[in-house]
Amino acid sequence: MKLVGTLVGKSGTRYVTFRVFEEVNVNDLVLIENSKRRFLGVVRWISHVNIAKNQYSPFIVQGDEETIDALGYMNASAELLGVLDEEGRLIPRITIPPIVGSKSDIYLLEEGDEILVNVSQPVYIGVYSSSSRLFQLDASYVNYHIAVVGTTGTGKSHLVRLLAKAFSLKDIKSIIFDHTGQDYAPFFKEDSAFRVIEDREVLPSPAGIASVIANEVGNEYAEDIEISIYAYLASGGNPGETAEFFEALGLMEDYRKSKKYSLIQNRKPGKIEIAGPEEFKNIEWRNEEYLEILRYTMALLARRNTTIAKVIMRYLISGLDLAKFNGRKYTPKEVAELLVNGDKSLVLDLSNEPMAIKWSLLKDTIKFLWKKVQDKGGDRIVIVVDEAQNYASAGTPTASILEEIARRGRKFGVGLILASQRWVTDLSTGIRNNINTVFFSQLAVESDIAEISKVVATENVDLSSLDKGYFYVSGLLNPMRKPLLLHTFPTVEEVVKANAGR
């Protein structure tokens, strides 16, 4: 530790002012030796004062410029983070302020100066902003949900990669939904603790396939399309076998006996049997057979001939080919089981499919994962969603399942990490209200900092001059709770090195 100043002016239970003897920087951690008590603080601002050059000073100082400059001095303000007990352990509450007077020295914490903090599972993904001291995070709060917010280029995805790797070293598994396929899949492809799966290896749910078709032919026909998809599955892709399915719904006479489509009145629905998710992979998808079933379904539902023709033409013009769903290796249920039953984290590369499939894969995988962990219990799993504005904002098809995890996930050891540019518009209210740790850098909209302050402390931070890789951390993952500036490691390898043996 290095002596850098002494207390002056007044002190309180939140802030103290000290005269600066040696160089200090904003966001430096300082130790305040005050009689028999010791306090930990963080420098929030520094100011230079010279009474000879103050226009309101009643004193007139004569002399050369060097003499006048010598009258200048520097003051700094430090926010108190807590008091240290006899064993040097931090207690994050202060009831009596430091006393200004003798034995009120300020020391700068340097590399090697450790503060004992009650952290049950420490992890490290970087250092304090102005030193090489490791920045300690508490992984035991990972299931209380994390948001990473900042403008493009601040290093959000890199920070999340470091978190995922650090957590994996503590036996906390992650499932990462890589929206672009560029931020996670390439980095973890050769990592033995992770398995990368491409979206074109996973068969979407029937509703997901239906949504892709509806996006092309018109969402006003979504119900017709979804029914036709289930008819296709129930018949194994054989148009001649769909009658039993529709009869079970109580809708029609056997079209093999009559080409006239008619609704059956006063008939109870029969038993419907549709293959389970694992068996979907065995059904061969063919455009010609599907279009015949779609045409038949729409006629049964009393659509006009012109409407049916329009939908079929839109389908053909779109270039859709259901054969792309043949031969897929996994279902969303099997992906969830790989994570829960296996010992590896997963990265799901979503870069190859349209948005409707991305939504479907994320929603269905999390749905099966959520059911599995509730049945099994005991695991700690992190769901990572990059570019969260596409999945976690109000009105998206996936927002409801993410809100469910945000509300109840911590009970079953499931946490969220959501990375996005905006706090308000990119994350729904139900999600924001349950976030307990926020990493934030430069923000796209200044008002977001006020909104973030409603869930974690954000006072007296300066975001305007932050470089890439610098993030304030506030909330439960930061054992000191108040916002402190973190500089992330440049590589994942440094995460492994920093966490080795700790």
Is residue 293, in this structure, part of any structural domain at all?
yes
Within 10 angstroms of residue 290's Cβ, the number of other Cβ atoms is: 22
Please, are residues 140 and 120 in contact by the beta-carbon 8 Å criterion?
Answer: yes
Instruction: Give the pLDDT band (50/70/90) at residue 275.
Output: low
Predicted TM-score (pTM) of this structure = 0.86
In this structure, what token pair is assigned to residue 417? 């990490």
**Does a structural domain hold residue 125?**
no
* Same domain flag for 219 and 273: yes
Is there a single domain that holds both residue 320 and residue 348? no
335-366 b/e (C-beta count within 10 Å ≥ 16 → b): bbeebbeeebbbbbbbeebebbbbbbbbbbbb
Final residue in a domain of this structure, among 290, 308, 325: 325
- pLDDT digit string, tens, across residues 148-193: 999 999 999 999 999 999 999 999 999 999 999 999 999 999 999 9
Q: How far apart are CA 454 and CA 401, in angstroms?
A: 23
Q: Are both 74 and 175 inside the same structural domain?
A: no
Residue 10 reports pLDDT greater than 90: no
* 408 domain-assigned: yes
- Tell me whether residue 436 is in a domain: yes
Instruction: Give the per-residue pLDDT at 36.
Output: 79
**83, 117 in Cβ contact below 8 A?**
no
Distance CA 210, CA 285 (A): 13
Banded pLDDT at 266 (limits 50, 70, 90): very low
Q: Identify whether 134 is part of a domain.
A: no
Alpha helices in 377-446 (DSSP H): 399-408, 429-432
Instruction: Please give the DSSP secondary-structure letter assigned to residue 203.
Output: P
What's the per-residue H, E or C state across 177-199?
EECCCCCCHHHHCCCCCEEEEEH
Judgement on whether residues 272 and 309 belong to the same structural domain of the protein:
yes
pLDDT (average), residues 407-421: 94
CA dist 328 → 43, 146, 201, 288 (Å): 56, 33, 5, 20
**233 is a domain residue:** yes
Please tell me whether residues 387 and 438 are part of one structural domain. yes
CB distance 30 to 12 below 8 Å: no
Res. 257: pLDDT tops 60: no
d(CA 123, CA 343) in angstroms, rounded, equals 20
By residue range, what is the domain housing residue 374?
Answer: 142-200+331-463
Residues 220 and 195 reside in one and the same domain = no
DSSP 53: G
Quick: pLDDT tens for 361-371. 999 999 999 99
What letter does residue 325 receive in the DSSP assignment? G
Q: Domain boundary at 325, 344, 366, which? A: 325
Closest alpha carbon to 15 in 92, 63, 78, 67: 78
Q: Which two tokens stand for residue 266?
A: 């006063």
Q: Once rounded to an integer, what is the mean pLDDT over residues 410-423?
A: 94
Burial of 96 (0-12, 13-18, 19+ CB in 10 A): exposed
pLDDT attached to residue 289: 94
Among 291, 325, 359, residue at a domain's last position: 325
Q: Identify whether residues 263 and 353 lie together within a single domain.
A: no
- Asked if the model's pLDDT at residue 258 lies above 70, the reply is no
- For residue 162, give the nearest of 369, 467, 439 by alpha carbon: 439
* Domain count of the fold of the chain: 3
C-beta separation of 41 from 78 below 8 A: yes
Q: What is the CB-side half-sphere exposure of residue 245 using CA atoms within 13 A?
A: 23
- Are 177 and 248 within one domain? no
| Cα–Cα distance measured from residue 448 to residue 435, given in angstroms and rounded to the nearest whole number | 14
Q: Among 53-62, 118-127, 243-252, name the most confident range.
A: 118-127
pLDDT higher than 80, residue 279: no
| Residue 53 clears pLDDT 70, i.e. is over it | no
Query: What average pLDDT score do residues 299-326 get?
Result: 92
pLDDT digits (tens, 9 = 90+) for 65-112: 666 666 678 899 999 998 888 877 888 888 888 888 878 899 998 777
Are 17 and 10 within 8 A, CB to CB?
A: yes
Q: Residue 456's domain is classified under what CATH number?
A: 3.40.50.300
Q: Tell me: do 194 and 337 sit in the same domain.
A: yes
Residues 6+ positions from 425 with CB-CB distance below 8 Å: 389, 393
Judge whether 434 lies within some domain: yes
DSSP state of 467: P
Q: Once rounded to an integer, what is the mean pLDDT over residues 477-494?
A: 92
Residues 76, 25: Cα–Cα separation, whole Å = 9
Same domain, 179 and 285: no
Angle at Cα 125 formed by Cα 122 and Cα 127, nearest 5°? 95
What rounded mean pLDDT belongs to the chain?
A: 87
C-alpha to C-alpha distance for 91 and 55, rounded to whole angstroms? 44
Q: Based on the fold, state whether residues 383 and 424 are members of the same structural domain.
A: yes
Q: Are residues 458 and 394 in the same domain?
A: yes
Q: Looking at per-residue confidence, does 433 or 48 come out higher?
A: 433
Torsion sign (Cα): 125, 126, 132, 133: negative
Of the given ranges (110-119, 186-195, 387-396), which has the lowest mean pLDDT? 110-119
pLDDT exceeds cutoff 90 at 386: yes
Statement: residue 490 has pLDDT above 50:
yes
Distance CA 216, CA 31 (A): 63
- Beta-strand relationship, 345-349 and 104-108: unpaired
Closest CA to 279 of 227, 228, 236, 216: 236
Distances (CA, A) of 123 to 137, 368, 464, 469: 5, 29, 28, 17
The position carrying tokens 């450790």 is: 114
Q: Is residue 131 part of a domain?
A: no
